[in-house]
Structure 1
């Protein structure tokens, strides 16, 4: 494989165009090079060889043929595949083999090789180290050609940075480096072309026409075909194919050699196993003979055992049949004796025992069966007759006695039907008596309110049904299991539908809800007409609403209990449970409840509207209160109506009442609030003097307070309704409906706030009209102050105290009459007016440095005073004015940069760069050129 050093290149002297001969060397691959170049390369090899001879570490590197390397290989050495190199092998010695993909030298002491094997690559480092790696070894590594087949022995290390040029993230510190084979020089194909492909082995049509066929390398026929070639192109193609074939052989050889260690281990194991196999074979033969003899013996014994077992089972079967015949005879005799003694429980047990035995042995005892069935029929007749008599006499103990006999007789369904019919009959009888008593009271008290107790009558009906199910749970389960309970609930629900709906209808007739609804509709339509008939009394309507609420809650609680009872049963027929649940929601009682719900909505809306209108009508001032009576009264009515609607557990009722609440708040109530705020000639009434001033101010403040408190009450009402609906309505769809409806309450609160702000602005306009003259006088005051003038201003303030006195006189007296929120908003609006006016005035003045100090002192005085008037912060209102004073206090123009941009610190500038330049221009000492040169 390393034929380059064994076969020296052949030289020839071809003639040039002038007939002179030029020295050339013809390589094995057919290419030529100059003789001078060949000599230079030979000299390099000779020099490298001499340096290797003088190197004491020359045995650790060099060119070694593969055959020689294999002969010198030490057994027990383990080859490591490049793909398995990882951080776990750190500081471990490894032996790897592969192709040199890239070679890179870093000076004379370091070289990097990237070794490739089966698609995996690893970076190997050859570094000069005493007694380990010599400089000649580094030089040898750098002289290797790419794709050389090399073997490396080294130590695995983990670098501190990722390795980008290799697949394995470890390095191998090289200690030994051998070149097994070198690549063909000046190879014109890549490594990817090394493996034979379909294209490589296919026959070219043009070559076929020229008489050139595909050559299969590795036999004598290929050599004969090559000797016959005369075309240079065909020779070149075959040369490349031969090179690719050689590369493929190298790869196959690599794979085979990499498996050598494993094969040696397996062969060694096989040698050890061969000795063991002889022993195992002898033991297995001995075991086989023992098993064969045991099997023969077992066949002989098991046959006899099977015969004995068959005989024994037949004996047992015969004895069982004899026992069954005897037992059946005893049952027949016991039934007859029990019937004679009227011990029906024992007779039923004998029948049950006989039926169980007869089910096992149906092919025998037909005579006994006929006798027993006759006795069973006689017993069934007696049980039915006695049970019927007990039902007629309402003898509950006797009924239970005979009902329990239906299960042993196999008549469970019949017993369930009879017993449930009995329960239904008892409940119907009690309910009928209660209803007749109720009707009698209605006739004797046609106009009574409390004497006729419809709620109690309906409660007793529900109570009887629930107790019938709960107290008879055991007997119902004994008859038909949990299906018997569901059957009883469905049958008793029919009584609830008939009797319960009758009670509700009688209640609606007694309260004349149809007539009331008609009167309410007529009253609502003719509300604005002259001589309209007065509507129903809201106090009477409230009593009806409470009764309806109790009746609806009773129905909802009963339905919820029964439905949960059905859903709590685990062994019910899958079709029976949903059908029973649906019967509660679609029965006649449920339909009557829907009718009464419709009347409830009409009455509730009427009650709510009438009471809200009445609260608006009788609105009056409440002593020691900042609002009038209308606000608390209206929201109390709305809160009560909404709570009552939610208590019905009917989502449609809740949505209808909420809709009525929205209409009242957005129309009549808001109009009443705004009417209080419409005060003509407000300024004249507030500041002309007299007792009327205080009254007018109080009225305006109260109207604003009404609007402020109403906006808060709306949000509180919304929050309370949301919390109650979450508890009452578990369904997400119902909650979404309520949430969508309540969103209008938030909009209503914002609407109240907008009207409130408009009213406050109107009030502020009347106050600022009185303050404006004091502010206008500030325009006449000079801020180009000398030290004497500055000192005089400190003693005698020129305008700040006058302004504050005007504010106190015209605004502070309203504080006791306004809510905290309203008064703070009022003061802030006044401050906004003052600050804007002062900014305009100050921008028209000229300032000295002392004038800037004076402005800063004035601004601080204003901030201090207004901070005591309101609970909110006012510093942000005076921020622009304070920043103007800061700029006017500067020693020079450039000092502004100490406060601007990145140097501003926690301060946020409210002035724009243009405004800053304008303020700087107000200082008499600052030059315009310096101001213009600023980079803000």
Structure 2
């Protein structure tokens, strides 16, 4: 630290400041001594490093000289390599020119030999050899001929072109002769020569013409429908289309040898014969499938129409697949052009219009079959005196499933959608209306809920006696009450099953029509039409809800008695357990009987409704009785057991309110009311009203309660 800084930091005019400054100077001096000692201790090490560096420096000159020698050698080697590489390139160029010259000379020699060879082959009727010479001529480099003409020589291609044309005429003539004789072996052999002479398109055209003529004769023979039973028309159409597919497969196999992408032209020549043959068979089929007198007579015709349409769709799919396979090796643009050509051929041919006629007739006949069959099922399901069962839903959905599956078997997404819409309309319009009409009102006592035991109270005994007399009178007036009850429950179960069946049919339709769908658009179309079955399922579910409401209405008188019995001050039985378990046992008998006729979820819904209704009524009936401690305890036991039988959330809440109200009746003192109140708490006014029903509680004590 400098002197000026010390003077600024310490007051040296005093002994204390002077002492502090001296201490600071001594401390700094000791630090300097330590640093100096460290530097001196490293002096030997620095001398060693300097000595080593000086020795290494003396060797650098030798390394530099060696590196310079190596660099000079590399430069000379690189220059030599460049000279050698240039000479090698010159040698390669000269060799390639010599090879090209030799090839052109050979081409000119071969051209003269090919011309002579073709003429000799024509004279010897050896068309395979002649075609080989023409193929060699077509594969020659045009530059060879151009070089010959540049030297002033005559064009050597003229003679070869004349010879090739002569060979083509001979091959065409021989091909036509073989076609007239139906000589398939020679036809195939001669067809394979057309690609070699550069006439692949002409060969495919001649082959397609031959196959079309042969196919027309075979189709006229196969389209004759023999009299007999079974699907004779569909079988005839299948034979016609199988013959057409065989001809198309043969054309595809031979066209692939010529050149890829030529199959659409061959199919265009074959298609008129196919359309004419199918039109003849379909005309006979449509005349035979005229509107029948009954649904039973319509089924064979429907099966034939569906099979015929499906066969046509399979034939179209076969043509598309063959074209895709034939054009697989082509560039993407050429491949798409071939597919577009086949799609256009399919869309514009008469076979497509025939398929539309068949589908239209099928849909008209299928609608007749569906309506007639459903109407017959509805008539057969008309309730008869004493009948206790119904097969309405089973019959209708058997018909619906058959119709939907048959429409899917046509292979037409549009046809399946039309049938789905018809089935949905019939289910929603006819079947649901019948079930709603039959479930509008339930017969007396639709499900047996045992009456409460006769209490000691005279008024309730009179009510039970009146109810029993009413039931006896109903049985006396109508001996078929039991049959009506069972039939009503059967219809209710049918409505529940119908809703499930409709949803299941929709899933099956979407899954089954997936094979006929040609893309996401068709799939969405089927899903949209299948949603109509979902609407039918909702309508059937509403009919089932109407039936459940009718059952609840039929049980209302008995539920009112049970509600009054639960809160009766007087015991319902001699034993306390029997008195408390009377309502749970009645519910158990009720549920056992209901499970014999209804689905489990419907039984659960009815039980929840019964418990909720009884709990609501019983809470209101408390205010119509007066209780002592014993009567309150009896009511509390019954209500607590009833709350334990509650199932769903709403029923548990109502039963908990009832049990809480009954617990107030069983209190020893009104001051204990706050101890039994649990959420959901009863309103304070209702608590005071219930406590006031105890004859041994004072009104003043009840009013003083803080609730």
Is the pair's TM-score, using the shorter chain for normalization, greater than 0.5?
yes
| 1:931/1:462 CA distance change after superposition, 3 Å | farther
CA distance in 2, matches of 1:875, 1:300: 105
> Counterparts in 2 of 1:311-350, with a 5 A limit?
316-317=99-100, 319-350=102-133
The aligned residue for residue 48 of structure 2 is none
Give a deviation string over 1:427-455, Cα, whole Å, max 9, x none. 222112333x24xx5xxx6xx765x8321
The aligned residue for residue 480 of structure 1 is 259
| 1:753/1:919 CA distance change after superposition, 3 Å | farther
Residue from 152, 158, 165 that aligns with 1:377: 165
Residue from 482, 497, 507 that aligns with 2:285: 507
**1:462–1:496 CA contact under 8 A, matched in 2:** yes
Give a deviation string over 1:599-630, Cα, whole Å, max 9, x none. 22222122111111111112256999963132
**2:495–2:544 CA contact under 8 A, matched in 1:** no
> Counterparts in 2 of 1:781-930, with a 5 A limit?
781=569, 795=575, 829-845=609-625, 850-859=630-639, 878-886=655-663, 888=665, 909=680, 911=682, 915=686, 919=690, 928=701
Structure 2 unaligned regions, length at least 5: 40-53, 446-468
Q: TM-score, normalised by structure 1?
A: 0.59
CA distance in 1, matches of 2:17, 2:245: 115
The aligned residue for residue 587 of structure 1 is 349
**2:310–2:411 CA contact under 8 A, matched in 1:** yes
**1:622–1:629 CA contact under 8 A, matched in 2:** no
CA distance in 1, matches of 2:702, 2:640: 32
The aligned residue for residue 165 of structure 1 is none
The aligned residue for residue 21 of structure 1 is none
**2:388–2:484 CA contact under 8 A, matched in 1:** no
CA distance in 1, matches of 2:19, 2:539: 99
User: Deviation at 1:390?
Assistant: 0.5
User: Deviation at 1:702?
Assistant: 1.4
Residue from 351, 362, 368 that aligns with 2:134: 351
CA distance in 1, matches of 2:510, 2:569: 65
The aligned residue for residue 183 of structure 2 is 395
| 1:583/1:58 CA distance change after superposition, 3 Å | farther
Matched, 1:706 2:491: yes
Residue from 589, 614, 621 that aligns with 2:376: 614
CA distance in 1, matches of 2:419, 2:639: 55
CA distance in 1, matches of 2:376, 2:56: 111
**2:408–2:512 CA contact under 8 A, matched in 1:** no
The aligned residue for residue 456 of structure 2 is none
User: Deviation at 1:637?
Assistant: 1.6
**1:704–1:756 CA contact under 8 A, matched in 2:** no
CA distance in 1, matches of 2:568, 2:549: 29
Structure 1 unaligned regions, length at least 5: 10-37, 65-69, 75-270, 517-534, 784-791, 902-907
The aligned residue for residue 420 of structure 2 is 658
Give a deviation string over 1:640-671, Cα, whole Å, max 9, x none. 22222232233332333233223323333233
**2:404–2:419 CA contact under 8 A, matched in 1:** yes
Number of residue pairs aligned between Structure 1 and Structure 2: 656
> Counterparts in 2 of 1:356-755, with a 5 A limit?
356-357=139-140, 359=142, 361-362=144-145, 363-364=147-148, 366=154, 369-435=157-223, 437-438=224-225, 450=230, 453-481=232-260, 483-512=261-290, 516=291, 536-568=293-325, 569-572=327-330, 573=334, 574-619=336-381, 627-677=389-439, 687-688=472-473, 690=475, 693=478, 695-729=480-514, 730=517, 731-755=519-543
Of 382-391 and 370-379, deviating more is: 370-379
Report the structure, 1 or 2, having the larger helix content: 2
CA distance in 2, matches of 1:319, 1:796: 125
CA distance in 2, matches of 1:500, 1:272: 108
CA distance in 2, matches of 1:419, 1:509: 36
The aligned residue for residue 933 of structure 1 is 706
| 1:6/1:853 CA distance change after superposition, 3 Å | same
| 1:396/1:676 CA distance change after superposition, 3 Å | same
| 1:891/1:356 CA distance change after superposition, 3 Å | same
User: Deviation at 1:765?
Assistant: 3.9
The aligned residue for residue 198 of structure 1 is none
User: Deviation at 1:721?
Assistant: 2.8
CA distance in 2, matches of 1:738, 1:311: 72
The aligned residue for residue 180 of structure 1 is none
CA distance in 2, matches of 1:883, 1:275: 112
Q: TM-score, normalised by structure 2?
A: 0.75
> Counterparts in 2 of 1:121-200, with a 5 A limit?
none
> Counterparts in 2 of 1:103-118, with a 5 A limit?
none
1:361 partner SS: helix
Q: Considering Cα pairs closer than 8 Å and 6+ residues apart, tell me whether 1 or 2 has the greater RCO.
A: 2
| 1:625/1:491 CA distance change after superposition, 3 Å | farther
2:495 partner SS: helix
Give a deviation string over 1:137-187, Cα, whole Å, max 9, x none. xxxxxxxxxxxxxxxxxxxxxxxxxxxxxxxxxxxxxxxxxxxxxxxxxxx
Give a deviation string over 1:704-748, Cα, whole Å, max 9, x none. 421332332233233233233234234433443444444444444
User: Deviation at 1:888?
Assistant: 4.9
User: Deviation at 1:877?
Assistant: 6.4
User: Deviation at 1:313?
Assistant: 5.3
Give a deviation string over 1:504-555, Cα, whole Å, max 9, x none. 344334434xxx4xxxxxxxxxxxxxxxxxx832222222211111111111
> Counterparts in 2 of 1:269-348, with a 5 A limit?
282=65, 285-286=68-69, 289-290=72-73, 293=76, 316-317=99-100, 319-348=102-131
CA distance in 1, matches of 2:590, 2:100: 118
CA distance in 2, matches of 1:301, 1:775: 118
1:405 partner SS: coil
2:480 partner SS: helix
User: Deviation at 1:838?
Assistant: 2.1
Give a deviation string over 1:99-157, Cα, whole Å, max 9, x none. xxxxxxxxxxxxxxxxxxxxxxxxxxxxxxxxxxxxxxxxxxxxxxxxxxxxxxxxxxx
**2:252–2:322 CA contact under 8 A, matched in 1:** no
The aligned residue for residue 463 of structure 2 is none
**1:771–1:803 CA contact under 8 A, matched in 2:** no
Report the structure, 1 or 2, having the larger strand content: 1
| 1:486/1:849 CA distance change after superposition, 3 Å | farther
CA distance in 1, matches of 2:603, 2:359: 46
1:688 partner SS: helix
CA distance in 1, matches of 2:319, 2:55: 81
User: Deviation at 1:558?
Assistant: 1.7
